[in-house]
Amino acid sequence: MTGASAMVRDGARQAMAWLHGWTGLLLGHILFIICLAGTLTVFKPEISRWMRPEISGQADPVRAITAATDWLSANTTGSAGWYLSAPDGRSNVVEATYDSGGAYMSRALDPVSGAPVARDTLGGEFFYRLHFELELPYPWGRLLASLAAMLMLVAIVTGIIAHKRFFKDIFTFRAGKGQRSWLDGHNALGVLSLPFHIMITFTGLLTLASLNMPWGIAAGYGADVATLYSDLTPGTVSRAASGTKAPLAPVGSMLAQAQRYFGGAPVSRIYIFNPGDAAAVVTIYPVEAAAIGMLPAEISFDGATGKVLKAWTEKRAGVRAYQTIYGLHMAHFAPLLTRWLYFLGGAMLTLAIASGMVLWIVKRRERAPLSIGNRLLERLNVGGLAGVPIGMAAFLIANRLLPLGLAERAQQEVSVALWSAGAALLLGLVLRPALGWPLLLGLLALLCALAAALGPIWAGDGVILSGNMLLTATAVALGLLVWKQCRRRSAPTPVRRRMAPA
Amino acid sequence: MAAPIHYRASRWRYRANVALRTIAGTVGAYGVAALGAAAMARTLPMARVEAVTLATMIAYLIAPGVTIWAFLARGPWRAVAGVMLAALALGGIAWIAGQPA
C-alpha cells in the first residue's frame, strides 16, 4: 500500500468514525425508544394478553368475528368502516378499530359477547404504535422514525467502515477498564448480530416506504393514489356508500368461503366498509403465519348479499418481494424460537445504542473535564435511557391499578406512562449522574418487580406467568447492576490512567 | 486517537472536507436514491405497479452506496460533483421517460 492511499483511507476511516458518533448522538434517544418498543412488540399479542387477564384461553376466530360484527351492528350507526383482527393461537380477542359517530375507536372485543372488554387498554398496541409513531401525530411520528432509521443506516455503514478489527471484536471484552470496556461492549453488541441490525433497519425503512421514499410512486402514478392502491391490491373493492340501509349478510359463511379460497389458511383481518349500507363491502385476508410475505391473498364480498365480488392471490414477483421484506420486519411468520431470536437481536441493538451513547460521554470524560454540552448530554442519557423503560413499566402497573370503570381508561394508562417517563427525565437532569444512575435504575427494578407482583405473580395463565417471570428477571438483573454500581462507588477511586492510543 | 499529520496541519480544511462529504453522503445520497427511484419507476420493463415497487426497494440500496462512496472519493469536491452528476443523470432519465400511462 502506498503512503498516499493509506492516508486517504485513514482519513476516510476517521471521518466515518466522526459521522458514526454524530449520527448516533443526534437521534440516539429516538432510536433507543424505537428499538426498545420494537423489541417488546415482538411479543405484542402476549403483552396484550398480560394486560387483559380477564380473557383467558383460546378463542374460535369465526365465532369471535361473528360476535364482534353483531355487537358493532347493534352499537354503531353510519360507520365508514370496521377493521377487525381475528384471534389466533397468540391473540385471544378481536382487535377492532371502528368509527362511531365520526370518532375512531380502538377496542379489544370479547371473543364470546363481542362487546369491548372491561379492562379498556391499548395492550401491546401501545408498544407497536410507539415503535414507529413515537406518540406524535400523523405523519410527524412516522417521518421522525424514518429519519432516525435513515441515520441509523448511516451509523451502521459508517460504524462498519470505522472498524479496524471487525471479527476480532466479536471475541474481545476487557472488563473493568472504563472506556475500553464500554467500547468492547458496544462493538460486540453491534457486530455480533450485525446482519440482524442491517436487516431490521432496511426492512423497517421499507415498511414506511410510501412516506419516506414516495418518489417512485410519484413518478409512476403522480397523485393518483386510488389507482396505485387498486393495482397493489386487486382483490379489494372501493365503492361509495349508497345511502340505502341494508343489514350485513351472515359473516360466518363469508369467513368459511374465504378460508376455502385461502387453501385452508385461517382468516386474520376482516375489513368491513360502509357496514349497514346496501353498498357495504367485506374484505378478508388470510393469516401470515404460513409464509414470510404479508397479504398473499384477499377476497371481497358484497356486504348485503354475501356474494364474492373479487378475489386475488398475489403472485407478482415485485409485489411479493416487497411483501416478503415487509413480513421479514413484522415477524408474524416467526415460530417461537425465531421470535425469541428477533427479541434477542432487538435487545442487542437497543443495548448497542444505549452503550454507544454512554461511550460518547465516557470517552470524553477520560480525556478532559466535560464541556457544558456534554455534561447536559450525560444527564440526558440518565433521564432518557432509564426514563423510557420506567414509563413502560409504569404503563404495566397502571394497567393493573387504574379502576376498570374509569373514563378514557386506555388513554389514562398512556398518560401515566408519559408522565412517569417525563418525571424520570427531569430527575435525570436534576441529579448528579453518579446519583441519578443507581437511583433511576433501582426505581426501574422496583417498578418491574411491582408489575410482576401485580400480575398476580402466581397467575394461572401461562402467558401471564411468563410475563411475570421476565419482569422479575429484569428486576433482578437491574438490581444486581445497581448493587455493583454502589459497591464500586464506595471503594476508593482508582487513579485514572491515560489511555494508550488504539 | 491523533489525527493524521496531513490533516493536523489545517484543521479547518479537514472540517470542511468532512462537512462536504457528510452533506454529499446524507442529503445527496437521499436525493440520488429518490431520483433513482423515479427513473427506475418510469423505465423498468414491467407492469407499472411492479416497476414502482421494485424501484422503491432498489432506491434503499442506492442510498448507502452513495454514502460510502462520498467518503471514499479522492477529494471532497469530487464527492459533491459525483453526487450531483448522478442526480442530474437520473433526474434526466426520469424527465425524458415521462409518467407512464
pLDDT score of B51: 95
pLDDT at A5: 45
**Rounded to a whole number, what is the distance in Å from the CA of B81 to chain A's nearest CA?**
18
Q: What percent of chain B is modeled with pLDDT above 70?
A: 91
pLDDT of residue B17: 86
Which pLDDT value is given to residue A161?
76
What's the CA gap between B80 and B66, in Å, rounded?
Answer: 11
User: How confident is chain A (502 residues) per 10-residue block, as mean pLDDT?
Assistant: 45 76 87 97 96 88 94 91 93 93 88 94 96 94 95 84 68 75 84 90 94 95 91 92 93 95 90 95 86 73 96 90 90 90 96 93 86 92 97 98 94 97 97 95 98 91 94 97 84 50 44
Instruction: Using a CB–CB cutoff of 8 Å, tell me whether A319 touches chain B.
Output: yes
Residue A65 grid cell: 368475528
d(C-alpha A295, C-alpha B11), whole Å: 55
Average pLDDT for B60-80: 91
Q: What is the pLDDT of residue A110?
A: 95
For position A486, what pLDDT does the model report?
87
User: Given this model, what pLDDT does residue A91 score?
Assistant: 92
What pLDDT, on the 0 to 100 scale, is given for residue A183? Answer: 84
| A136 C-beta neighbours (distance < 10 Å), count | 13
A211 to chain B: nearest residue by CA?
Answer: B56
Of the pLDDT bands very low, low, confident and very high (cuts 50, 70, 90), residue B9 is: low
Mark yes or no for CB contact B56/A217 under 8 Å. Answer: yes
A224 touches chain B (CB under 8 A): no
- The domain limits of chain B are 29-96
Contact between A318 and B53 using a beta-carbon 8 Å cutoff: yes
State the complex-level ipTM: 0.88
Q: What residues form DSSP beta bridges with A277?
A: A245
Q: What is the pLDDT of residue A293?
A: 52
Q: Is the dihedral of CA A386, A388, A389, A395 positive or negative?
A: positive
Q: Do the Cβ atoms of A321 and B54 come within 8 Å? A: yes
pLDDT score, position A458 = 86
Torsional sign, CA A189, A192, A194, A200: negative
Compute the distance between CA of residue A475 and CA of residue A458 in angstroms, rounded to an integer. 17
